[in-house]
Chain A
Amino acid sequence: MNQRIRRLAVALMVLFAILFVQLNVIQVGLKTTLDDDQRNTRQSVRDFNEPRGDILTADGLVVATSERRDDDSGHPWQRVYPEGELFADVTGYFTFAYGATQVERVANDVLAGRTPQQQIQGIASLFDGADTTGSVELTLDSRIQQAARSALGDREGSVVVVDVQTGAVRAMWSTPSYDPNYVATHDDRAAGDVLEFLNDVPGNPLLANAYQERYMPGSTFKVVTTAAALDAGVVTLDSTFAEESEFVPPQTNDPIQNYNQKICGGDLTEVFRRSCNTPFARIALDLGPERMVEASRRFGIGEKIPFDLPRAAASSFGDVDYFEQNLPLLAIGGFGQGNTQMVPLHLALIAASVANKGAMMRPYVIDATFDHDGRLMKRTSPSVWKQTMTPATAVVMSGLMQEVVRSGTASCCLKLANGVEAAAKTGTAQLNGPGEPERSHAWIIGFAPASAPRYAFAVMLKGTTAEISAGTGGTLAGPVAKKVLDVALTR
């Protein structure tokens, strides 16, 4: 029997060795996977009971911080957003029951002091009790952001300002917005009620329409069509277009009309500055479905914007097969009507690429992260997302866009302070069908100063009111862009 008992002993040892191996697999091997599982609330519970680092703007304004609260909620730290709604789309909120969004979510490890670097420093803090939380510095400038809010007022829409050379977002404001302080309350039920309420509000304040929603771009899309045609050699600055008020594309009898049925024609500079529609319908058809769709891909349309904030939307244009069957839609797509949908941030990036020799940078809002002692941990290095056009085409496009401000659709409203010149393209996206009441988004995109570009911008006013629908991109969005750029360029 002894031999069997010894074998039994070996067998049992093997079983326990298996347990030991599996324990290592779970507690060491799978640790990160398990901790990162979104269903795992352990980490957020722990984070919730610990201090949390600040989020600051580039000019040093604290936009999210943790305050000690000795209330009876059992959670000693309260997350506070001193600027209220102003940075809600960027910071997001940090809650116990409903998780975290935006920077609060993507930079959670830094803010909670849980990156490996902070953890190593944290070993020392086991003894002195110092916290290891880190802080996040945003690319946003609070003064430009303020200007964007006051310029837009209570009209629905968004303002985006990006640095043309880096893709750093200097301002990103959307209305309607919300105050994250109401969501970050320790009262889970109240927070849930607030979120539910915000979900039902028209305009969806919880979605940042600057980068999480897309809209019909109208004539601002002519920047894409024109650059594609210049690159393909389909048009040059010398091309001329017939004076006409309408044009009937193939496969249909419905004519395409110019804005207000005006007669419109001339060379490229002329039709671009006056924003005629028929020339760009013809250009889109001349390029054809294949080259047009290929060009849209070069602009990153159809891809999710590679933003450092979660759940960025993707712009859309259409695919080759679809346009082959629907050439009229390709024609109106050439000037941003039909099924073309653009994210406001994306249009700002496209304008920036014109100013940056065709190089479109990846947008970002997190400039740098710092440890508890203020030492730099990581700074975002700018990188190119797409080469949208050749540098030569970019120069031509810049000229066309400057003419829009000098003598075109934006001439009314984009004369900047101190005589600074801007380059722009306006858009008035027609949303209503024939016979329906007028409904249109008002757009302007561009960059300034035109000679040595620093900032690119996109301003969009949503066509939710009769007042906005009655105006144009130049008259409505232009003044907003001017106020924001004046603050950005003179500070």
Chain B
Amino acid sequence: MARLGGHHHHGGRERSHVGLTVATTTHAQRRRSSELRLVVLAAVITGAGYTLAALGKNSAMPPRILPFLGVVLLLLVSAHIAIRWFARGADSTLLPVAALLNGLGYVMIARLSERLAGLQTTWTFIGIGVFIGVLVVVERINDLSRFKWTFFFTGAGLLLLPLVPGLGFSSGGARIWVNLGPINFQPGEFAKLALALFFAAYLAERGSLISNSTRRVGPFNVPETRDLLPLLAAWAFSVLVMVGQRDLGSSLLFFTLFVVLVWVATERTSYLVIGSGMFAVACVAAYHAFDHVQTRVAIWLDPWSRYTGKGYQVAQSMFALGSGGTAGTGLGLGDPTRIPEAKNDFIFAAIGEELGLFGATAVLIAFVLMIGAGLRTALRTQRPFEKLLATGLTTILGVQAFIIIGGVIRVVPLTGITLPFVSYGGSSLVANYALLALLIRISDTSARRLGEVPDQPTLSERWTARRVARAEKKVGGPA
């Protein structure tokens, strides 16, 4: 209750400013009803896409289209209801955009392989479950900042997991998989979240110490070693592990995430410059140290001369995009099975083939909308931890999408990584739904703080309050 009392909006306000409360309630109401409409729209688009893909591929209606639509609606509406109950002030675009991407990805995966579609359905169920779970468990986002070292060690442990003999294994050249009985998963997807939480918490706490240090070495202000060292050590460790696992995409993503967070937290452009410099040095070093990096760069520059070898994938991706043209071949009418890994890293090329420039641009816009909503959340909240966390999570989404789309369309060298919400893959989907839930939680918290939604006590706070009251009654009663 002490924490609640510290807030300037608490339950008592409802009675003193009735008018305001009514107004803000409709504010939240409006967000939730527009979210519901958008979520239903995403479900309808998914259902329509699924039908068209089946028509295009087999010239027949998909056998269970109504149950399919029912399941999609059920999933999305449950997520929506969870937001209504546990985060009703949150941004209204995040869930529908994620649902659209997930739906579009599903349609594409189902069109490529019936078997994977079944698995992806299971993963979507688990993903939405985790989404709701995170909303329920994480009631006050700031509570998370206390566990920063727990997050770091969890993240580090998850990263190291694939290196454990007998547990981890390599697939597609990267040793990032873990086999636990019936399921294989990529712990790295979750490590990213944990490490983003760690960096946000650490920098929220020490960011100003690092940036306002007066210790001088030569002409430079240098932060105290005790402030900087743990940060650098944690970062270097993570990047080295990812590089060691040959997970170039994740290393790149993580590097960017770190530099961005340090830059935003310290407000020092010099860190951005130093970070970019280090990035350049790391790239050159990696290029010279690793054959597979050289191969990737060579393929990026000229996939055609390596058509029969490692350039085949990128060349096929180009053919797919070209044959899609402006309007696409139509769902189920293209030939995306020719692209190796079309379900996974190259799903964007498959979308570009069947839905054309229009469809591919829609995916880009969806990511831009998500980034916009994520960074708006970061801007609206006042607390450094929440700000940094929202920035970090959004950076993960945006940069990851850029890295893989850019790899597929030859803007940057290809580094294997999933396209958030779209690619086939359980770990990625579940981790991204957890990420989405965290963003929504931050967005809701700031809405409450801004008075757009009455800041009611959370479930566990109410529970604690009732226990305390009961205890007080017991103690105070006879006296």
Partner-B contacts on A (CB < 8 A) = 1-6, 8-9, 12-13, 15-16, 18-20, 22-24, 26-28, 30-31, 33-35, 37, 39-43, 45-46
Contacts and interface: CB of A to CB of B under 8 A. Distances in A.
Interface string B305-334: 001000000010011111111100000001
Nearest to A39: B307
Given A34-B318, A42-B319, A19 B406 contact: yes
7 contacts: A6-B379, A12-B368, A12-B375, A18-B406, A26-B321, A27-B326, A27-B360
Contacts of B371: 9, 12-13, 16
A43 B378 CA distance: 47
Given A18-B411, A24-B357, A31-B325, A5 B379 contact: yes
Range class of the B interface residue count: 35 or more
A19 B364 contact: yes
A19 B411 contact: yes
Nearest to B335: A42
B264 A4 contact: yes
Interface in B229-271: 260, 263-265, 267
Nearest to A2: B379
B324 A27 contact: yes
Nearest to B323: A42
Interface string B210-230: 000000000000000000000
Given A23-B409, A26-B409, A30-B318, A9 B364 contact: no
B387 interface: yes
B391 A28 contact: no
B200 to A, nearest CB: 12
Contacts of B319: 34, 37, 39-40, 42
A16 B325 CA distance: 19
B384 interface: yes
Interface of B: 260, 263-265, 267, 307, 315, 318-326, 334-335, 338, 352, 356-357, 360-361, 364, 367-368, 371-372, 375, 378-379, 384, 387-388, 391, 395, 398-399, 402, 405-406, 409-411
Contacts of A13: 368, 371
Binding site of A, secondary structure by majority: helix, strand, loop or mixed?
helix
Nearest to A29: B322
A8 B375 contact: yes
A342 B212 CA distance: 87
Contacts of B384: 1
B357 A41 contact: no
Given A9-B375, A45-B335, A35 B361 contact: no
A23 B364 contact: yes
6 smallest CB-CB distances across A and B, nearest first, come from A34-B322, A4-B264, A27-B357, A40-B319, A9-B375, A42-B323
A35 B322 contact: yes
Contacts of A40: 319, 322-323
Contact of A16 (B267, B324, B338, B367): B367
A4 B267 contact: yes
Contacts of A16: 364, 367-368, 371, 398, 402
A8 B395 CA distance: 9
Nearest to A33: B322
B409 A4 contact: no
Contact of A46 (B318, B335, B378): B335
Given A1-B267, A23-B361, A42-B323, 5 more contacts: A8-B264, A13-B371, A18-B411, A27-B357, A40-B323
B322 A8 contact: no
Nearest to B409: A22
B278 to A, nearest CB: 18
B35 to A, nearest CB: 22
Residue among A3, A12, A27, A33 with most chain B CB within 10 A: A27
A40 B338 CA distance: 10
